[in-house]
Amino acid sequence: MPVSRDEFEDLRPLSFREPDEVLDDEKLYTIYEVARLLQGLDPDVELDVETENVLLDWAIPWMMTHTEEFVFAEPAADDEPGYYGLAK
């Protein structure tokens, strides 16, 4: 249900960082690690499933917006995620 703007004291602009501000250009990351890094979290931090799903909801469109800045490496096995990194 929508709420009144007056209920909030702190309204900030929505802004996303550029991929090179988030990722190390010498490393490859899973989508889960990228999602954590976008939120300023350690890429290895343990999260509950619901939180991780919310972070993925932010990370996937962000990556799609910047596809030209990423490279992709196939996963080591079919049951593992792929890896993403910065295009050099």
3-state secondary structure 40-75: CCCCCCCCCHHHHHHHHHHHHHHHHHCHHHEEEECC
Q: Does the pLDDT of residue 13 top 90, yes or no?
A: no
List the domain boundaries for the chain: 18-86
On the question of pLDDT at 21 being above 90, the answer is yes
34 closest CA partner among 14, 63, 8: 63
Q: How far is the C-alpha of 47 from the C-alpha of 59, rounded, in Å?
A: 15
Predicted confidence band at 88 (pLDDT cuts at 50, 70, 90)? Answer: confident
Instruction: Quote the pTM value.
Output: 0.83
Tens of pLDDT, residues 27-72: 999 999 999 999 999 999 999 999 999 999 999 999 999 999 999 9
